[in-house]
Chains A and B, each alone.
Chain A
C-alpha cells in the first residue's frame, strides 16, 4: 500500500536528520551531569557536599535550556560554579544545534512533499462514496471541480503547478476535494489518489500537456482496467493512440464538440437551442433560436478551431475566406486564403463588406477582441463567433456582445460533466439528430413539453435515476415482490397523486434496449437507467418517493398504507380478503 510507504518515508527522513543532534545532546548532557556529581561542593560541618545524579540532571535541565533557577539545592562551591559555566554554554549550544536541525528539516522540500503526500493519502482514503481523480486544475479543471461539487460528487485533484494548487486550497467546495501538488503522470501519485480503490469511478486527464494526458490514460488503463477514463485531446495523432487504449476511454475535443454544435445550429437551430439550454449555457432559454446566416464566412486564424469550423461550413456548402499568417500549401484553390495577420486591411481583402459571418479563433484573447471590434466597425451586420481562451477575460468578452462565445475550457468541462452525470444525454441527442423528416414534430412537441414543465427561462436540472439498491431501494423492494411499477407512477406528485411532477423523462436504458422519451406505462425493471430533465424541486420530491415505502405505496395505489403495528393488525382483521 502506498500509504504505509509514505509513513515509512516520513519517519525515516526524520530519524536520519535528527540522528546527530540527538547524539550531541545526549553526550553533552552526560558529560555535564557526570562532572557536576564528581566536583566537590561546599563543606558543611566538616563534610563535603556532593550533588546526586538526580539533582545534577535537574540543574542541567534548567541550565542548558537557559531557564536558570539558580543554585539548587545548596549554594555551589567555586569549582562547581566554574563547571556550571561550561554546562551552560555547551548545553545551550547543543540545544540551538538541535532546534536548528529541526527547522532545517521542516524546510526540506522532500520532507515537506512526503508530509503533503501522506496527508493527501489519508484524506483521499477517507472518501467512502464514488469519486473521480481529476488530473490538472487549470480553467477546465476548476470548472469541473465546481460542477462535481454542485452534484455532490467528491474528487481527488492532482495538479503540478504551485500557483494553481494554491488557488485550489482557497476554493470552498461542498464535498471533500483533497489536492496534491504533484505530477499526475507518476504512477505512485495516481495510486496515492486511490486509483485502485473499488469506489474510484474514473480518471479525468485534463492537464494542458497532451503527452501527460496520454500517459495518465495508459497508466489508468493498466493499473485499474475497470475505471472510466476521460481525457481532453486537441491533436489527431494523440486521439488515434488514445482510441486504441480501450472501450471505456472517452476523448473530448472542445473544437470538434463546438464544430458539431455549430453544425447543429446551421442545419437544425431548434436542436441547438435545446442543447444549449440542457447543458446549462449562460442566458440560454428555450425561446428564440440562434440562427447562423448562410453566405460567405471569414475565418480568422486557421488553427485547430479554424480547421474544425471550416470542415463544418464546407460540409454545409457555405463559402469561406481564411485569414492566417501562415501559408498553407494544401489549401484547395476554391477558397480564398489571405496570408497575414488579421487587420482592417486583410479583412477588407477577404471581403468583409459582403460577408455574412466571422469566426475569430486565434489563441490570443487580446487579438481576438481587437479583430471583433475591427470587424464590427467594417460590417455591423456580421454574425460573430469569437473564441475566448482565458477564463479571466470573461467580463470583457461578455461586454463585446458577440453572437456566440466559444470558450474551449468551458466546452470541455461541460462535456465531461455531462458524460459523468448524464451519460444518457449523448444517445438521446443521437436519436434527435437522426429523426426522420416525417417525425420532425417530435422535437417541437418535446420543446413545448419542456416549456410547460420546466419553464423556458428556468435552469434545467438533469437527474439520472438508476433502479438499484443505492438510489431507489424501495422501488427495488416492490419489484422484488413481483409487483408492477410503471414509470408514470414515480412521476406522480407524492403530495397529491393526481398531479404530475415537473419533470420529463428523456431517455431510458434497460439492458441493451434504448428508449427515447419513454411512455408513462413503461414497466420499470431492475438496473434500468432513466434520464430526467426538470426542476430541482421536482427531483427532490421524486427522491422522497423513491426512498419512502409509504409514499411509494401511495403514488402506486392511491392508498395510504397503515403505518403502526396496531393499525396494520386492525386493517388485516377488518379486511381479511385484502391484498
Chain B
C-alpha cells in the first residue's frame, strides 16, 4: 500500500462527494444549498490541487488541469454568493441561487473527470 495513493485518492473522492452534496436539491431554493458546504468543497478542492502539483507525467498534467477548472468554477460561485448577499444586498433570490448551483455543477463535472481518470489509471496496473 502506498501512503501517497491513499491520501491522494481520499481528497479527490472527498472533493467529488462534497461537491455532489452541495449541488443536490432544488436548484433555486436557498434552503437546499448550505454556505458552509460550499466553503468545505472549496477548501477540499484547493487541497486536492495542492496535492497534484509537481507530477511531471502526462496524466498528472491533465489531473491538475481538471482540478484548476473546478477551483475556478467554485470560486466564481463563492464570489457571486458574496456579492448578492453583501454588496448588492438583493439576497439569495431563486435566480441568484440557480446561478451559484449551476457553477458548482460545472465544478462537479470536472471532479467526475478527475475520479474517472484516477480509477482508470488504477485499473491499468495490476499491482
A, B bound: yes
Binding site for B on A (CB under 8 A): 493-497, 499, 548-551, 560, 562-568
| Contacting residues, chain A, for B4 (C-beta < 8 A) | 560, 562-564, 567
- Asked if residues B55 and A496 are in contact (CB atoms below 8 Å), the reply is no
Name the one of B2, B50, B57, B124 contacting A566, with C-beta atoms under 8 angstroms. B50
CA distance A566 to B55 in the complex (A): 10
- Asked if residues A548 and B54 are in contact (CB atoms below 8 Å), the reply is no
| Contacting residues, chain B, for A550 (C-beta < 8 A) | 55, 57
Question: What's the least CB distance linking A568 to chain B, in Å?
Answer: 6
- Asked if residues A565 and B53 are in contact (CB atoms below 8 Å), the reply is yes
- Asked if residues B124 and A495 are in contact (CB atoms below 8 Å), the reply is yes
Question: What's the least CB distance linking B120 to chain A, in Å?
Answer: 13
- Asked if residues B57 and A549 are in contact (CB atoms below 8 Å), the reply is yes
CA distance A130 to B23 in the complex (A): 52
Identify the closest chain A residue to B5 (Cβ): A560
| Contacting residues, chain A, for B53 (C-beta < 8 A) | 564-566
- Asked if residues A494 and B125 are in contact (CB atoms below 8 Å), the reply is yes
| Contacting residues, chain B, for A497 (C-beta < 8 A) | 127
CA distance A495 to B125 in the complex (A): 4
Central interface residue in A496, A548, A564, by most chain B CB within 10 Å? A564
| Contacting residues, chain A, for B56 (C-beta < 8 A) | 549, 563
B89 close to chain A: CB less than 8 A: no
- Asked if residues B54 and A563 are in contact (CB atoms below 8 Å), the reply is yes
| Contacting residues, chain A, for B126 (C-beta < 8 A) | 493, 495-496, 499
Question: What's the least CB distance linking A123 to chain B, in Å?
Answer: 30
- Asked if residues B127 and A495 are in contact (CB atoms below 8 Å), the reply is yes
Binary CB contact string for chain B from 21 to 58 against chain A (1 if under 8 A, 0 otherwise): 00000000000000000000000000000111111111
Name the one of B52, B57, B125 contacting A548, with C-beta atoms under 8 angstroms. B57
| Contacting residues, chain A, for B125 (C-beta < 8 A) | 494-496
- What total count of A-B pairs have CB within 8 Å? 47
- Asked if residues A564 and B52 are in contact (CB atoms below 8 Å), the reply is yes
Name the one of A493, A494, A563 contacting B60, with C-beta atoms under 8 angstroms. A563
Interface contacts beyond A564-B53, A566-B50, A566-B54: sample of 17 additional A-B pairs, CB < 8 Å, sorted by A: A495-B125, A495-B126, A496-B125, A496-B126, A499-B126, A548-B58, A549-B56, A560-B2, A562-B4, A563-B4, A563-B56, A564-B8, A564-B50, A567-B4, A567-B7, A567-B51, A568-B54
Question: What's the least CB distance linking B64 to chain A, in Å?
Answer: 10
- Asked if residues B127 and A563 are in contact (CB atoms below 8 Å), the reply is no
Number of residues on chain B facing chain A (CB within 8 A): 19
Q: A549-B56, A549-B57 are in contact. Are A566 and B127 (CB under 8 A)?
A: no
28 contacts between A and B (CB under 8 A): A494-B125, A495-B124, A495-B125, A495-B126, A496-B125, A496-B126, A496-B127, A499-B126, A549-B57, A550-B55, A551-B57, A560-B2, A560-B4, A560-B5, A563-B54, A563-B55, A563-B57, A563-B60, A564-B8, A564-B50, A564-B51, A564-B52, A564-B53, A564-B54, A566-B53, A567-B4, A567-B7, A568-B54
Question: What's the least CB distance linking A538 to chain B, in Å?
Answer: 14
Binary CB contact string for chain B from 72 to 99 against chain A (1 if under 8 A, 0 otherwise): 0000000000000000000000000000
| Contacting residues, chain B, for A548 (C-beta < 8 A) | 57-58
CA distance A562 to B60 in the complex (A): 12
| Contacting residues, chain B, for A565 (C-beta < 8 A) | 53-54
Identify the closest chain A residue to B123 (Cβ): A495
| Contacting residues, chain B, for A560 (C-beta < 8 A) | 2, 4-5
CA distance A154 to B69 in the complex (A): 38
Question: What's the least CB distance linking A199 to chain B, in Å?
Answer: 25
| Contacting residues, chain A, for B2 (C-beta < 8 A) | 560
| Contacting residues, chain A, for B60 (C-beta < 8 A) | 563
Identify the closest chain B residue to A549 (Cβ): B56
CA distance A567 to B47 in the complex (A): 13
CA distance A499 to B60 in the complex (A): 25
Identify the closest chain B residue to A496 (Cβ): B126
CA distance A548 to B57 in the complex (A): 6
CA distance A493 to B124 in the complex (A): 11
CA distance A568 to B2 in the complex (A): 13
| Contacting residues, chain A, for B8 (C-beta < 8 A) | 564
Central interface residue in A562, A563, A567, A568, by most chain B CB within 10 Å? A563
| Contacting residues, chain A, for B51 (C-beta < 8 A) | 564, 566-567
Identify the closest chain A residue to B2 (Cβ): A560
CA distance A568 to B51 in the complex (A): 10
CA distance A551 to B4 in the complex (A): 15
CA distance A563 to B5 in the complex (A): 10
CA distance A551 to B51 in the complex (A): 19
Question: What's the least CB distance linking B71 to chain A, in Å?
Answer: 16
| Contacting residues, chain B, for A551 (C-beta < 8 A) | 57
Task: Give B1-25 interface residues, CB cut-off 8 Å to A.
Answer: 2, 4-5, 7-8
| Contacting residues, chain A, for B57 (C-beta < 8 A) | 548-551, 563
| Contacting residues, chain B, for A494 (C-beta < 8 A) | 125
Identify the closest chain B residue to A560 (Cβ): B2
Identify the closest chain A residue to B60 (Cβ): A563
Question: What's the least CB distance linking A98 to chain B, in Å?
Answer: 57
CA distance A550 to B58 in the complex (A): 11
Identify the closest chain B residue to A548 (Cβ): B57
Question: What's the least CB distance linking A554 to chain B, in Å?
Answer: 9
| Contacting residues, chain B, for A496 (C-beta < 8 A) | 125-127
Question: What's the least CB distance linking A359 to chain B, in Å?
Answer: 52
Identify the closest chain B residue to A567 (Cβ): B4
